[in-house]
Amino acid sequence: MSPATLRPNSVAEVQEAVRTERHLLPCGGGSKPALLTPGEGQTVLDMTGLGQVLEYDPGEYVLVTQAGARLSEVEALLAQHGQYLPFDPPLGQQGATLGGTVAAGLSGPMRQRYGGVRDFILGVQFVDGVGQLVRGGGKVVKNAAGFDLPKLMVGSLGRLGILTELAFKVFPLPKATATLRVAFPGLEAALEALYKLAGSPIELYALDLEPPATLTLRLGGLAEALPARLERLQAFLGRDGERLEGEAETAYWRSLNDLNLGEGALVKVTLTARHIPALEAALGPAPRRYLSAGHLLYLAWDGELDALERLLGAQGLSGLVLRGSTHRPQIGIDLSQAMAHKVTQALDPQGRFARQPYAAQD
């Protein structure tokens, strides 16, 4: 039986749904289906009815939207003014919304330059588990008043409240970009270069490692400085690599944001470069890409998710399943941590947003 779905068109309707439905699962564009497997008796709340851009003054570099706003539309609007979301959220072409992006806590390769979604969220409005509308943060680029609820919501997966409105800091798009793909003789050499780059004053928009041993590096900035910087980068690495420029370069990075890595479940893993050698030894043929100097891994996993959980657990790592069939998308995450448990209960005392088995404090 397909689950009941509600599609609110206003914040008041979201509040109403929270007050009347026993169990709710908020849903954005559906681009991360593993996070959307409804449990028994769970009503799906389709948030795409709240899809407006509420405030955008390009001179202010601040954007306020409803949570159901589509990433692709927002990014197109920003691009018209030469601006972008520097955390480079994935899955825009798959219909991802800003609310879903924040709830899943997803950033892309360009997070390397200025930071991830947590570093750009300024304000949040959400409906808590008792139907109250709550605001945190603000709409200015700097603000230290009150608890940082906007950051708290990053990665909250709808568990702490239904996001209705979000404010972000945005940045000017680099006027020009160029990419260098450099193959190394082996993983060890590639990692050595990765560390050397990450510790150098060379400012990269992306610093990706593609197994087995290729670094893909993106430079951005003023067009007149780019040729000199590319040469310096090549000299720094002692390798020429393969250059990507122009339309092909933009298309390359755009297509990466689809996260079409290969067959199987799509999993986000958080780590540091230190974990890469052991993972590389253990992950076998699973298609994968390490982003942001080894701090973020996107992985396609065709086997049992339990096996992946054991494998990650052995490294002390956790992950989030984004695509694939599972009732338990959070793997290797300690959900019983005392702060988590208590704050969750504070915002959702009746377990309205809990996953099965329903508990006030999962």
Partner 1 sequence: MSPVLAELERLFPPGRLLHKPGELAPYESDALTAFRARPLAVVLPESHEEVVQAVRWCVRHQIPYVARGSGTSLSGGSLPIEGGLLIGLNRMNKLLRLDPRERIAVVQPGFINLQVSQAAAPYGLYYAPDPSSQPVSTIGGNLAFNSGGAHCLKYGMTSNHVLAAKVVLPDGETVVLGSESLENTGPDWLGLFVGSEGLLGIATEVTLRLLPKPETYHTVLAAYDSLAKAGEAVAAVVASGLLPGAMEIMDSLAIEAAEAAVKAGYPLEARALLIVELEGETPQVEAEARHLEAVIRKSGAYEVRVARSSEERMKIWKGRKAAFSAVGRLSPDYIVQDGVVPRSRLGQALAEIEQLSARYGLRVANVFHAGDGNLHPLILYNGRVPGELERAEALAGEILKLCVALGGSITGEHGVGMEKKAYMSEMFAEADLEAMRRIRRALDPLELSNRGKMFPGEAPALRFQGVHPLEQAGVISRE
Rounded to 5 degrees, φ, ψ at 114 are -125, -5
CA dist 279 and 283 (Å) reads: 6
**Minimum distance from CB of 11 to partner 1 (Å)?**
12
Compare residues 70 and 159 and give the one whose CB is closer to partner 1: 159
User: Angle formed by the axes of helices 226-237 and 187-198, to 10°?
Assistant: 130
Report the residue number, 173 or 282, with the smaller CB distance to partner 1: 173
d(CA 138, CA 122): 6
Beta carbon nearer to partner 1, 4 or 130: 130
E strand or H helix at 253, and its extent? helix 246-256
In terms of Cβ atoms closer than 10 Å to its own Cβ (0-12, 13-18, 19+), residue 222 is exposed
Q: How many residues are there in the chain?
A: 362
Is 29 or 319 the residue whose CB approaches partner 1 more closely? Answer: 319
Give whichever of 244 and 322 is closer to partner 1, judged by the CB atom.
322
* Interacting residues of 86 by C-beta distance below 8 A, sequence separation 6+: 110, 111, 113, 114, 115, 120, 170, 171
Instruction: Provide, rounded to whole angstroms, the least separation between the CB of residue 39 and partner 1.
Output: 19
Quote the least distance from Cβ 147 to partner 1, whole Å: 5
The Cβ of residue 149 has, within 10 Å, a number of other Cβ atoms equal to 20
Smallest distance from the beta carbon of 165 to partner 1, in angstroms?
13
> Which CB, 346 or 359, lies closer to partner 1?
346
| Distance from C-alpha of 41 to C-alpha of 3, rounded to nearest angstrom | 7
Report in angstroms how near the CB of residue 313 gets to partner 1 at its nearest: 13
Q: What is the DSSP string of 161-215?
A: -EEEEEEEE-EEPPSEEEEEEEE-SSHHHHHHHHHHHHTSS---SEEEEETTTEE
What is the closest distance, in whole angstroms, from the C-beta atom of residue 352 to partner 1 in the complex?
15
Q: Which C-beta is closer to partner 1: that of 92 or that of 116? A: 116
C-beta closer to partner 1: residue 51 or 170: 170
**Separation CA 305–CA 310 (nearest Å):** 9
CB of 267 to partner 1, least distance (A): 10
Name, in order, each residue with C-beta under 8 angstroms of 196's C-beta and a sequence gap of 6 or more.
236
Shortest Å distance, C-beta 56 to partner 1: 12
CB atoms near residue 151 (< 10 Å): 17
